[in-house]
Amino acid sequence: MSKHYDYIISGAGCAGMSLLMRMMREPFFSSKKILIIDGSDKTVNDRTWCFWEKEAGLFESIVHHRWERVNFFSELFSATLTISPYQYKMIRAIDLYSLVREESAKHTNIEWRYEKVSEIDGTGSKAGLVLATETITADWIFNSILFEDDPVTPPGGKGYNLLQHFKGWMIETNEDHFDPSVATYMDFRVNQDEGTTFMYMLPVSKRKALIEYTLFTEKLLSPDKYETALKEYIRSYLQISEYKIEHEESGVIPMTNRHFPQQRGRVVYMGIAGGQVKGSSGYAFQFIQKRTAAICKELCAGGNRFNRWSLQQRKFQLYDSVLLNVLHYQKMKGDKIFSKIFQKNPTERVLRFLDNETNLWEDLQIMQTMPATIFLPAALKEIFT
């Protein structure tokens, strides 16, 4: 007989671990048999998450660094922006993975397995998860594994398919070079020939900063181009000649308006696999937090529908499609769009807009800072497509 659980969390990355963390905080789950499974043991610091937040979040205890001011640089507009009431926060993946694993060791109802998952199926009366030598079942599987051949393209449907791709170095210098109280959120002064291109610069001390070269384009660059751009930025903009690379990370994130599945029978999708990357910005961390909180709420309420789209979510899907349309057809360059948005609006409103949290009146205020001749036809096309 196959092993059966109340819940299987398939994929123990950001979404899987966030969901488990929330379940551990909620007494409702203490009597549930939970399996969390991943092909990797997650002992490597494979990424750094940055996001803005007003209050203490689920992972407050492991915030590695935080900033209350951020720089924005472009040819059109440059400023140091105070982001109050938000803080821009950084979490190192390894700290999140370790915290969740340590916490879970106190819960006897939680089991870990490190194994490759080859298939999941939610169509029967139980959800099934296929491993190399056995199939295990659960009442519900919460999945964040992308099974498709192309890991950044959801199957089927029409839509725009930009990629956010980046390479980052945490560098350390022998002398003081950085102001750890100000992060560079976007620096568009770099070459824009490939498409929307910018640098992040996130100093965690006077001698240490994460510098990330980021592009929103349809194709990836050859590996050497990311390194050349990073070296050039460190040399000419930061004016640093000597440094050592302490940590390196890279990634490719889908920026698309194509619909990822939310739920197929007894399998519930979350994370990148559940479409939690914001199509027009590539940010996912906070959307994953919202999704995993909503899943826990639905379970605690005894519900079984995890695929409800609110009107607010649909509204922002439309806005994301409009921006992707403008970028895809190169009607306006990304550096100009972001410059205008940040120049003409209070930063707090922009951050709430990027979090899908503004109301219609605030949306209109942001939209009127964009050229109507470009955005209106794009909006009409997306509404009627």
**CA-to-CA separations, 264 to 47, 208, 296, 305, in angstroms, rounded:** 29, 45, 18, 10
Q: Which of 251, 261, 265, 377 binds ligand FAD (CB under 6 A)?
A: 251
Specify the pairing of strand 87-92 against strand 208-217: unpaired
H or E element, residue 138: strand 135-143
Query: What is the token pair recorded at 336?
Result: 């100009």
Q: Is 88 in the site for ligand FAD (CB under 6 A)?
A: no
Q: Is 15 in the site for ligand FAD (CB under 6 A)?
A: yes
Q: Is 144 in the site for ligand FAD (CB under 6 A)?
A: yes
Query: What is the token pair recorded at 343?
Result: 């120049």
Give the shortest CB-361-to-ligand FAD separation in angstroms.
27
**Among the residue ranges 10-18, 22-30, 236-244, 326-334, the one whose residues contact ligand FAD (CB under 6 A):** 10-18
Indicate the burial class of 199 (C-beta count within 10 angstroms; 0-12, 13-18, 19 or more): buried
Site string for ligand FAD, 95-124 (x = CB under 6 A): ---------------------xx-------
Crossing angle for the helix pair 360-367 and 311-328, to the nearest 10 degrees: 10
Give the shortest CB-146-to-ligand FAD separation in angstroms.
7
Q: Is 50 in the site for ligand FAD (CB under 6 A)?
A: yes
Q: Are 274 and 289 in contact (CB under 8 A)?
A: no
Q: Which of 5, 29, 51, 233 binds ligand FAD (CB under 6 A)?
A: 51
H or E element, residue 210: strand 208-217
**Among the residue ranges 38-46, 234-242, 257-265, 368-376, the one whose residues contact ligand FAD (CB under 6 A):** 38-46
Q: Is 238 in the site for ligand FAD (CB under 6 A)?
A: no
3-state class (DSSP) for residue 293: helix
3-state class (DSSP) for residue 378: helix
Task: Tell me how many helices (H) and strands (E) the chain has.
Answer: 9, 18
H or E element, residue 102: helix 93-104
Give the shortest CB-49-to-ligand FAD separation in angstroms.
4
Residues 6+ apart with CB under 8 A from 379: 318, 322
**Among the residue ranges 21-29, 34-42, 349-357, 377-385, the one whose residues contact ligand FAD (CB under 6 A):** 34-42
Give the shortest CB-368-to-ligand FAD separation in angstroms.
28
Phi, psi dihedral angles at 237 (to 5 degrees): -90, -40
Query: What is the token pair recorded at 244?
Result: 């050592």
Q: Is 154 in the site for ligand FAD (CB under 6 A)?
A: no
Give the shortest CB-166-to-ligand FAD separation in angstroms.
7
Residues 6+ apart with CB under 8 A from 183: 50, 67, 69, 70, 71, 88, 200, 201, 202, 203
Q: Is 211 in the site for ligand FAD (CB under 6 A)?
A: no
Give the integer Cα–Cα distance in Å for 200 and 19. 28
Nearer to ligand FAD, 264 or 344 (CB): 264
Nearer to ligand FAD, 35 or 332 (CB): 35
Q: Is 261 in the site for ligand FAD (CB under 6 A)?
A: no
Q: Are 286 and 219 in contact (CB under 8 A)?
A: no
**Among the residue ranges 191-199, 236-244, 282-290, 375-383, the one whose residues contact ligand FAD (CB under 6 A):** 282-290
Q: Is 43 in the site for ligand FAD (CB under 6 A)?
A: no
Q: Is 38 in the site for ligand FAD (CB under 6 A)?
A: yes
**Among the residue ranges 40-48, 76-84, 259-267, 314-322, the one whose residues contact ligand FAD (CB under 6 A):** 40-48
Nearer to ligand FAD, 257 or 382 (CB): 257
List residues near ligand FAD by CB under 6 A: 11-16, 38-40, 47-51, 116-117, 144-145, 249, 251, 253, 271-273, 283-285, 288
